[in-house]
Amino acid sequence: MRHLLATRELSYDHALAILDTAQEMATVSDRSIKKLPTLRGQTVVNLFFEDSTRTRTSFEAAAKRLSADVLNFAVKTSSVSKGESLKDTVQTLEAIGGDAIVMRHWASGAAQQLANFGWSSSAIINAGDGTHEHPTQALLDAFTLRNRLHGTQATGKDLNGVHVVIVGDILHSRVARSNVWLLHTLGAKVTLSGPPTLMPVGVNTWPVEVNYDLDGILAQHPDAVMMLRVQAERMAGAFFPSPAEYTRGWGLTNDRYQTIADTDTLIMHPGPMNRGLEISAAAADSAQNTALEQVANGVSVRMAVLYLLLAGQPGQ
């Protein structure tokens, strides 16, 4: 692996290698000294053109636990605000000594452009590009799901036969897209549900089932239900009548939660959660909710990605 740009191009073997390496990295969190010397002397640059809390701090924690130096690039106080191009910004950061660039950008395809145009010799990790992909989020979701299902025997296991339902704003969600491709690669069955106005054009060509009957899907007690945030900041028009109407049709309300409350169905959320809109407080605070596990597991997964790109290769 030279870069991590999208789960759509991630092979089965590479996906399992990342998950299995993350399994080993997770043991570092249980130590009194949460450090490995693996990336000592290397520099990881966090280049975020959009606001982020979970992803940026997770990558920073992952790099520091591997003993790498970290540069956090603040776009709003940089030369970007003066009109500097992405190419010049990246080449400046590489000249300072960046070995890996973790980039979040508002434009879909920005990470791919950076990796393919020869602007940088650094390893590029896509931390979210527009509505395109967010590969490490999908990897940490799969890692969390695999651990919940297989426990201490998770290493080497895929998600064959697991049923995952993704609900909500599919149209604007890079998390949904990355999860669809990764879950499919790992053998899971994926169902998408949400307002027809928030389903992407061409979704019929994806390896998924689209089902608008959310209550009917929940009655089947799937292995996991992933609730997505409504991304109002990416909406230029009205995609549903009102927040109350959205909640009534597509939110995991208290009544809907009762359908799966006494089952093994997991409730997942990439965060941040909008309580009372896509998820009720009862569902958010339940033992079935894996949101905080996902955050914690994100550090292990990102440690694995940084390690495999900068220090090792799958199979070594």
Does 174 appear as a known binding residue?
yes
pLDDT at 314: 44
Sequence ranges of the chain with CATH classification 3.40.50.1370: 7-134+295-310, 137-291
pLDDT at 74: 72
Does 55 appear as a known binding residue?
yes
Q: Would you tell me how many other CB atoms lie within 10 Å of the CB of residue 267?
A: 21
Residue 65 in tokens: 């636990």
Residue 105 identity (one-letter amino acid): H
Does 272 appear as a known binding residue?
yes
pLDDT at 57: 96
pLDDT at 316: 38
Q: Would you tell me how many other CB atoms lie within 10 Å of the CB of residue 80?
A: 17
Chosen CATH of 137-291 out of 1.10.132.20, 3.40.50.1370, 2.40.170.20, 3.30.910.20: 3.40.50.1370
Identify the three-state secondary structure at position 41: coil
Does 207 appear as a known binding residue?
no
Phi, psi (degrees; rounded to nearest 5) at 104: -115, 130
Does 56 appear as a known binding residue?
no
The DSSP code for 179 is H
Q: Is residue 257 a contact partner of residue 286, using CB atoms and an 8 Å limit?
A: yes
Tell me the pLDDT of the chain (316 aa) as tens digits.
789 999 999 999 999 999 999 999 999 988 888 899 999 999 999 999 888 889 999 999 999 999 999 999 877 656 665 577 888 888 888 888 889 999 999 999 999 998 888 888 899 999 999 999 999 999 999 999 999 999 989 999 999 999 999 999 999 999 999 999 999 999 999 999 999 999 999 999 999 999 999 999 999 999 999 999 987 666 656 778 788 999 999 999 999 999 999 999 999 999 899 999 999 999 999 999 999 999 999 999 999 999 999 996 543 3
* Beta strands in 76-210, from DSSP E residues, in sequence order: 100-105, 123-129, 163-167, 189-193, 209-210
Does 229 appear as a known binding residue?
yes
Q: Is residue 307 a contact partner of residue 62, using CB atoms and an 8 Å limit?
A: no
Fold of 7-134+295-310: Rossmann fold (3.40.50)
Identify the three-state secondary structure at position 34: coil
Does 271 appear as a known binding residue?
yes
Does 82 appear as a known binding residue?
yes
pLDDT at 96: 86
Half-sphere exposure of 176 (CA within 13 A, CB side): 30
